[in-house]
């Protein structure tokens, strides 16, 4: 029986593989997907970000953008009103508290990953086999890019871990010199953590502000007591993180939950410094929460839970070595470089943990260029049909949500949905 063949470059192949690429991305468990709720329309996402609807997941994905390269999307937040009641028969008319708001713009741009699928002599396969092989490889590149783009933006820095699976280059190629491709690959400016959302482990406590990185010592490792301190920070904050609400978690309304991502080395320092019985309780708490009925991937694997903070591990680390630069915000809210303490020497580094509530990051997707889909696919025969090159592409832009919150002394720049906590880890 004859086999129907779709030649390279055929519109049907482009359509089928464009859809398949995005569908595969949404189905596979990953850092970005585990933290993203159901894809809302842009209007719904803006409504969430304004605080006018119930909290959802740490990452909000907006997918109804029909934009071309370089366009922007705007999201807004209306501030919490600060007012005292008017009592008794005192005149209320004309004394209404004015609404105030802040907004942020997110740029979107095209990304592309070309892959050579081989030639006739090296690949004795049909065009269908070549497409399958190329699809698997390009999907992996796209998945890593989206995951890493999410991680870098929400963490407010790239760090210097540079294993072969990284597709985003280090932020500083040497000293304070910016890598020439970093800004274009990250699309939007990677914003350093705001002063009021950045903490560094300092002995048994936490010190506010990234400037403490200049004094971090090898003994400043993450312990379970620091998660207690984090829970207290959330409870005492004037602008509390909105809790994460997993759709199928029956306890979501009654027991507000937050998600803390640790690096493998931070996880290990907690485990090393925790007694066996307490560690078992730490793991059992997460199992108990999942046993309410949630099948969400956040509860899969081996998470822990402490003070209603779900603790998980990341597969990649935002890591700063001794004497390297990290972008920080001093109390003046002006970004600067902080040199990580040289006392860490070559034996230790500073790893970054991420404590997330709802709406920490906005992921805006547009239609890929010359495509009807968020991810696109193209293929082309080269060298008179002897070689095949395929290309996966997409259009997106991610940005950490940050707004100016009103305070008694003015306004304060505040990361809306994430705290970062830096601690020392052995190498």
Q: How many percent of the chain have pLDDT more than 70?
A: 74
DSSP-assigned letter for residue 94: T
Give the pLDDT band of residue 393 (cuts 50, 70, 90): confident
Is the distance from CB of 282 to CB of 304 less than 8 angstroms? yes
Is the distance from CB of 65 to CB of 366 less than 8 angstroms? yes
Sort residue 366 into left (φ over 0), alpha (ψ -120 to 50) or beta: beta
Given this model, what pLDDT does residue 152 score? 96
Q: How far is CA 42 from CA 106, 148, 164, in A?
A: 12, 23, 35
DSSP-assigned letter for residue 238: S
Flag the least confident range among 6-15, 312-321, 327-336.
Answer: 6-15
User: Over the chain, what is the mean pLDDT?
Assistant: 79
CA distance 414 to 393: 33
Query: Of residues 61 and 192, which shows the higher confidence score?
Result: 192
Using alpha carbons, select from 256, 353, 359 the residue that is nearest to residue 308: 256
The pLDDT tens digits for 203-258 are 999 999 999 999 999 999 999 999 999 999 998 887 788 888 887 888 878 888 99
DSSP-assigned letter for residue 269: H
> What value does the mean pLDDT take over residues 377-381?
78
Q: How far is CA 340 from CA 163, 273, 379, in A?
A: 21, 24, 46
> What value does the mean pLDDT take over residues 2-18?
50
Give the pLDDT band of residue 52 (cuts 50, 70, 90): very low
Is the distance from CB of 197 to CB of 418 less than 8 angstroms? yes
**Of 145-149, 291-295, 381-385, 411-415, where does the model show the most confidence?**
145-149
User: Burial, 90: exposed, middle or buried (Cβ in 10 Å; 0-12, 13-18, 19+)?
Assistant: exposed
> What value does the mean pLDDT take over residues 311-325?
93
Using alpha carbons, select from 318, 312, 193, 199 the residue that is nearest to residue 259: 312
> What value does the mean pLDDT take over residues 173-182?
75
Domain ranges of the chain: 191-358+414-426
Is the distance from CB of 343 to CB of 227 less than 8 angstroms? no
Phi, psi for 66 (deg, rounded to 5): -105, 80
Give the pLDDT band of residue 193 (cuts 50, 70, 90): very high
CA distance 54 to 77: 14
Give the pLDDT band of residue 55 (cuts 50, 70, 90): very low
3-state secondary structure of 182: helix
3-state secondary structure of 206: strand
3-state secondary structure of 32: helix
The pLDDT tens digits for 104-147 are 788 888 888 887 766 655 555 555 566 677 777 787 888 889 99
Given this model, what pLDDT does residue 1 score? 35
Is the distance from CB of 98 to CB of 135 less than 8 angstroms? no
98 Cβ contact list (under 8 Å, min separation 6) = none
CA distance 131 to 377: 11
Res. 3: pLDDT tops 50: no
> What value does the mean pLDDT take over residues 1-21?
50
HSE of 420, CA atoms in CB hemisphere, 13 A: 31
Tell me the three-class secondary structure of 388-403, residue by residue.
EEEEEEEEEEEEECEE
Query: Of residues 248 and 316, which shows the higher confidence score?
Result: 316
Using alpha carbons, select from 237, 8, 24 the residue that is nearest to residue 140: 24
The pLDDT tens digits for 276-301 are 899 999 999 999 988 887 888 888 88
In 170-225, beta strands by DSSP E: 172-174, 177-178, 198-202, 205-208
CA distance 247 to 5: 43
């Amino acid at each position: 029986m004859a086999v129907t063949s779709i030649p390279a470059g055929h519109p049907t192949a482009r359509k089928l593989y464009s859809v398949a690429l995005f569908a595969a991305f949404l189905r596979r468990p990953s850092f970005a997907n585990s933290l993203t709720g159901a894809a809302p329309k842009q209007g719904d996402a803006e409504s969430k970000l304004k605080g006018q609807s119930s909290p959802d997941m740490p990452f909000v994905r907006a997918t109804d953008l029909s934009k071309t390269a370089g366009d922007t999307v705007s999201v807004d937040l209306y501030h919490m009103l600060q007012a005292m009641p008017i009592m008794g028969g005192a005149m209320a008319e004309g004394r209404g508290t004015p609404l105030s708001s802040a907004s942020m713009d997110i740029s979107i741009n095209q990304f592309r990953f070309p892959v050579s699928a081989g030639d006739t002599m090296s690949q004795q396969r049909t065009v269908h086999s070549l497409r399958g092989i190329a699809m698997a490889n390009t999907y992996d590149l796209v998945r890593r890019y989206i995951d890493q783009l999410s991680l870098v933006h929400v963490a407010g820095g790239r760090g210097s871990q540079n294993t072969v699976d990284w597709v985003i280059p280090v932020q500083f190629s040497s000293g304070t010199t910016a890598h020439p491709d970093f800004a274009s690959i990250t699309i939007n400016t990677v914003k350093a953590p705001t002063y009021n959302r950045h903490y560094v482990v300092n002995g048994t406590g936490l010190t506010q502000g990234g400037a403490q990185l200049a004094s971090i010592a090898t003994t400043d490792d993450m312990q379970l007591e620091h998660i207690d301190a984090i829970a207290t920070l959330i409870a005492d904050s004037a602008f509390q993180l909105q809790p994460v609400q997993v759709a199928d978690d029956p306890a979501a309304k009654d027991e507000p939950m937050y998600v803390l991502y640790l690096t493998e080395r931070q996880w290990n320092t907690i485990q090393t410094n925790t007694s066996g019985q307490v560690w078992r309780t730490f793991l059992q708490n997460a199992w108990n929460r999942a046993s309410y009925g949630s099948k969400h991937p956040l509860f899969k694997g081996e998470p822990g839970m402490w003070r209603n903070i779900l603790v998980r591990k990341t597969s990649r680390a935002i890591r700063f070595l001794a004497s390297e630069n990290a972008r920080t915000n001093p109390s003046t809210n002006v970004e600067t470089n902080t040199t990580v303490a040289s006392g860490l020497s070559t034996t230790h580094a500073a790893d970054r943990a991420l404590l997330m509530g709802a709406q920490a990051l906005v992921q805006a997707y547009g239609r890929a260029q010359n495509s009807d889909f968020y991810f696109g696919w193209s293929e082309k025969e080269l060298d008179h049909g002897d070689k095949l090159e395929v290309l996966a592409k997409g259009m997106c832009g991610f940005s950490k949500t940050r707004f100016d919150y009103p305070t008694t002394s003015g306004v304060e720049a505040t990361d809306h949905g994430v705290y970062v906590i830096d601690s020392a880890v052995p190498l």
